[in-house]
Amino acid sequence: MIEHILMAVVIQLIIWAILRSWSAGAAAAIAWFASREISQAEYRWIEHFGAGHRANMPWWGGLDPRVWQYADPWLDWIAPTVAVIAVALVARRWRVTGAAKNQCLPSKGSGRWMARSSAEGRSKQASAPPSGHPTKAP
């Protein structure tokens, strides 16, 4: 089970490195392990109920509750799912609190954006206009 969790986090990190999305990485890892366990359940169904032949298995064979009666197949996809969701939530929380230190906020009434500078402890005007307002060339 530990190997499954580590592999799921590795998948999540690879997707994050490509897309910069912890949630997309979590979704990819969850899809990987859920589909893997369903495939293994299909093989269990073939062995127990299909006389060893794939052709005897119905389309829902991997979802048959009779092949999901032990804790191991459940834990093999639930543990990685919980792990990558936890990583995504922690990363999102860390990103939000980290971004709050240097965020841009609209100043009241001026129509200009104010960039917070935590190092200087004061605000500076930024050149970016609020979204939806066209800019005119000087």
Question: pLDDT at position 120, please?
Answer: 47
Distance CA 52, CA 42 (A): 11
Side-by-side strand order, sheet with 122-125: 104-106, 113-117, 122-125
Walk along the chain (138 residues) and give the pLDDT tens digit of each residue.
Answer: 899 999 999 999 999 999 999 999 999 999 999 999 999 999 999 999 999 999 999 999 999 999 999 999 999 999 999 999 999 999 988 876 665 555 555 555 555 555 554 444 444 454 555 555 555 555
Task: Name the residue with tokens 């639930």.
Answer: 78
